[in-house]
Amino acid sequence: MPKISITLPDGSVKKYDQPVTGEALAADIGPGLAKAALAVRINGELKDLYLPIESDAEVAIITAKDEASLELIRHDCAHVMAQAVQELFPGTQVTIGPVIEDGFFYDFARPEPFTEDNLAVIEKRMHEIVDRDLAIRRQVWERKKAIKHFKKIGEAYKAEIIGDLPGDEEISIYSQGEWLDLCLGPHLTSTGKVGHAFKLLKVAGAYWRGDSRNQMLTRIYGTCWHQEKDLQAYIERIAEAAKRDHRKLGQQMDLFHFQEEAPGAIFWHHKGWALILQLVEYMRARNQKAGYEEISTPEILDRALWVTSGHVEKFGEDMFYTSTPDGREYVIKPMNCPGGLQVYNKGIKSYRDLPLRVAEFGKVHRFEPSGALHGLMRLRAFTQDDAHIYCTEAQLQDECITVTRLILDIYKDFGFEEVTIKFSDRPPQRIGADEVWDRSEAALLKAIEATGSDFSHSPGEGAFYGPKLEFVLRDAIGRDWQCGTLQVDLNLPERFDATFVGPDGERHRPVMLHRALFGSLERFAGILIEHYAGHLPLWLAPVQTVVATITSDADVYARQVHGKLVAAGLRSESDLRNEKINYKVREHSLAKVPALLVVGRNEAENSTVSIRRLGAKEQQILPLDEAVAALQAEARMPGCPAKGA
RNA sequence: GCCGGCAUAGCUCAGUUGGAAGAGCACCUGAUUUGUAAUCAGGGGGUCGCGGGUUCGACUCCUGCUGCCGGCACCA
């Protein structure tokens, strides 16, 4: 009587008298599969191919076609790299080497860190180890023996990891040839299965266990694919992202610059500023439609106010300070809310005033760690499209839903269709009663539900003063950017003693919400530049049209065309230089001007323009007035009624 | 902040073992009046990031600082 029955993915069942390995099972199904087999999935869990299956199970043979197999070869590739490193650089300790998106890394402890120059040598040795086709085998060791072994060979970090594993966990050690590593597995059956489609990408420092108080290790990043063409495609993908880099495009398009005297702050040139102004105009219109008022509060406020708000205590090390000759100490605001609360507190608020929605395009300064600065994406001086909503607890739910809908709707206008929401709830250290946290968290969750959005839960990641939602959008090449945020604040209304008079004639504490949609205008501009690869849609483009002449005979007409475009509200420039049209086309194309209006003798005589759109090879000849009207219509801000309409 | 790398003309980058700072583009001048991604010729332009040191001599070697780049940590 067969003892073990194996159910395959197609529903068929194979029966065996004794335990069977994944290898044997694959061979039993077919020689092609035996050759392609990389691992097995037993009851949903990935396992090594050579381990016996002891009891009835649902089993699938994993081959290169399975998504999971990429993780396997990347993990093995990390091990091959670790082996190569230890062969080449004796005395280097291994720590951890996980699979990450598109690749893997391994962290090493070594007095002398690796540099990029070492990568080629390590890569070469890795290819040799793959060619050795070493069998990879799993062993289970007794805990004490494992710790003793790793200590003996000088692997203090590995010994520490084993010591910290839960008591009931098996200590599995994988060997490939002479080389051993502690690892949960599973792995391929031999180093040969890794193949040669891998590449080491960069070296970096990384703290042991991700804690900046610990020793810094040296990390090597790599990527690994089944086939060379996949590797090449990945390398091209990285190159494509580099081409979109907003710092590079920002220079090419003459949008902004940075310089040493203002680390983390930006000099906007007029074209870049035009983009920012357009974002502000858009958000103002949306705010106005959504029932917001707008205020503006001082950028420099007495330090005492920041003591009251709690910022000095909590973020004192991360703020800009300034003092005046009269000896007063000020803080350059890192947030708009304390200033906003001063406006709220001026005069007495009634429950009839709520919900009160107050927007502020506030420029804030934060003394970010120098290593965190990154173009427009992480600045020390940036502008928030901030707003604070003061409401009653009863209104909290509706306000959360309305804000969430507004955010999602606005992202669509910028071509971001895929948005996920991150929900962060109460951290261990917090202020406020648990019942209030219960209600606040429930309100945010309900808002997610009401919009039917995808969301992820980050337990304990909320701010100390309240839970929050963070809105993450996916750009044209699949990268995620966290932009918008909606936070409940249980702290500041208390600290500044904000109140409203209720129907009962008593003073009550309002609930305060913080919300930003773009987050930072500068950062959002950077994201847009990368999302569109500089090809901003007409309504956002800094220079929307350029009128370029073919000969100087058309100069007078070109001025007339340009004048009409400007009168129609378009950001237009004219190019009457004594240059060939090829030269002009090339130059304005590189500057990412969306619409080039070429005029020569023909156009001047017929009152037409030849429109060449960015990226197109063909032109379109249109009567001047028709062309202006069409461009004007296209340049209209989405989501808002036309001005004066 | 931490680890590593980088810093030469407005931009992109060359610059050998330490021995007189270069190219292309851009800019200026002139010629050319041109039909959809670079017309030709000439010219001007440098504290080689900043400061110290070694040396007869430093863009080059050593060192401190600043900024930037790639990560890590941080991100109210």
Can you give the distance from the CA of residue A229 to the C1' of nucleotide B69 in angstroms? 28
Residue nearest to nucleotide B72 (CA to C1'): A206
Is the per-residue pLDDT at A2 higher than 70? no
Can you give the distance from the CA of residue A537 to the C1' of nucleotide B7 in angstroms? 36
Taking residues A167-192, what's their average pLDDT?
94
Is the per-residue pLDDT at A237 higher than 90? yes
Q: How many other C-beta atoms can be found within 10 angstroms of the C-beta atom of residue A375?
A: 19
* Least-confidence region, from A12-26, A269-283, A337-351: A12-26
Is the per-residue pLDDT at A501 higher than 50? yes
Report the half-sphere exposure of A123 (CA within 13 A, side-chain side). Answer: 18
User: Is A386:A427 a contact under the CB 8 Å cutoff?
Assistant: no
pLDDT at A116 (0 to 100): 87
Nucleotides, chain B, CB distance < 7 Å: 1-5, 11-12, 31-39, 66-76
What are the pLDDT digits (tens) for A27-45?
999 999 999 999 999 999 9
What are the pLDDT digits (tens) for A549-593?
999 999 999 999 999 999 999 999 999 999 999 999 999 999 999
What are the pLDDT digits (tens) for A426-446?
998 888 899 999 999 999 999
Q: What is the pTM of this model?
A: 0.94
pLDDT at A639 (0 to 100): 78
Q: Is A273 helix (H, G, I), strand (E, B) or coil?
A: helix
Range 441-480, chain A: CB under 7 Å to any strand B atom: 463
Q: Which helix (H) or strand (E) holds A246?
A: helix A246-252
Range 19-58, chain A: CB under 7 Å to any strand B atom: none
Can you give the distance from the CA of residue A415 to the C1' of nucleotide B25 in angstroms? 35
Q: What are chain A's domains?
A: 4-62 (3.10.20.30), 68-243 (3.30.980.10), 268-298+347-524 (3.30.930.10), 545-634 (3.40.50.800)
Taking residues A58-74, what's their average pLDDT?
94
What are the pLDDT digits (tens) for A189-228?
999 999 999 999 999 999 999 999 999 999 999 999 999 9
User: Is A519:A485 a contact under the CB 8 Å cutoff?
Assistant: yes
What are the pLDDT digits (tens) for A403-430?
999 999 999 999 999 999 999 999 988 8
pLDDT at A185 (0 to 100): 87
Nearest nucleotide, C1' to the C-alpha of A219? B71
The answer to whether some atom of strand B lies closer than 7 Å to the beta carbon of A212 is yes
Q: Which residues of A are catalytic?
A: 337, 366, 384, 386, 388, 468, 514
The answer to whether some atom of strand B lies closer than 7 Å to the beta carbon of A610 is yes
Is the per-residue pLDDT at A643 higher than 80? no
Range 295-354, chain A: CB under 7 Å to any strand B atom: 311, 314-315, 318-319, 334-335
Is the per-residue pLDDT at A317 higher than 60? yes
The answer to whether some atom of strand B lies closer than 7 Å to the beta carbon of A289 is no
pLDDT at A645 (0 to 100): 40
The answer to whether some atom of strand B lies closer than 7 Å to the beta carbon of A213 is no
What's the mean pLDDT when you consider all of chain A? 95
Residue nearest to nucleotide B38 (CA to C1'): A583
Taking residues A472-488, what's their average pLDDT?
95
pLDDT at A642 (0 to 100): 56
Q: Is A584 helix (H, G, I), strand (E, B) or coil?
A: helix
Residue nearest to nucleotide B49 (CA to C1'): A260
Can you give the distance from the CA of residue A260 to the C1' of nucleotide B50 in angstroms? 11
Q: What is the DSSP string of A320-383?
A: EEEE-TT--EEEE-S-SHHHHHHHHHSS--BGGG-SEEEEEEEEEE----GGG-BTTTB-SEEE
Strands A136-141 and A99-100: unpaired
Can you give the distance from the CA of residue A30 to the C1' of nucleotide B23 in angstroms? 63
Q: Angle at CA A517, nearest 5°, toward A513 and A523? A: 130
Cis upstream peptide for A355 (omega within 30°): yes
Q: How far apart are CA A309 and CA A492, in angstroms?
A: 6
Nearest nucleotide, C1' to the C-alpha of A616? B36
Nearest nucleotide, C1' to the C-alpha of A592? B37
Can you give the distance from the CA of residue A552 to the C1' of nucleotide B33 in angstroms? 7
pLDDT at A266 (0 to 100): 97
